[in-house]
Amino acid sequence: MTAQVLAEELGVSVRTVYRDIATLAAEGAAIQGEAGLGYVMQPGLFLPPLGFERDELEALALGLAWVQGRADPVLGRAADNALAKIHAMLPPEGRETVEGEEALIGPSPEPPPAVVPLERLRDAIRRQRKLAIVYRDAAGAQSARVVWPIALAYPDGVRLLVTWCETRAGFRTFRVDRIVEGAVAEERYPRSRRALLKDWRAQLD
Strand-pair category, 142-153 with 160-165:
antiparallel
pTM value is 0.66
pLDDT band at 55 (very low <50, low <70, confident <90, very high): confident
Mean of the per-residue pLDDT values of the chain: 85
pLDDT of residue 68: 84
For the domain 118-204, what is the CATH code? 2.30.30
pLDDT higher than 80, residue 35: no
Who wins on pLDDT, 8 or 161? Answer: 161
CA quadruple 146, 147, 148, 154: dihedral, nearest 10: -150
Q: Could you give the count of Cα atoms lying within 13 Å of 167 in the half-sphere of its Cβ?
A: 13
From CA 47, how far away is CA 19, in angstroms rounded? 18
Res 104: pLDDT = 67
- With H, G, I as helix, E, B as strand and everything else as coil, classify residue 5: helix
φ/ψ of 54, rounded to 5, equals -60, -45
* Predicted local distance difference test score (pLDDT) of residue 170: 95
Residues 143-171 pLDDT 10s: 999 999 999 998 888 899 999 999 899 99
Where do the structural domains in the chain lie, given as residue ranges?
3-41, 58-99, 118-204
Question: Is 50 a residue whose pLDDT tops 80?
Answer: no
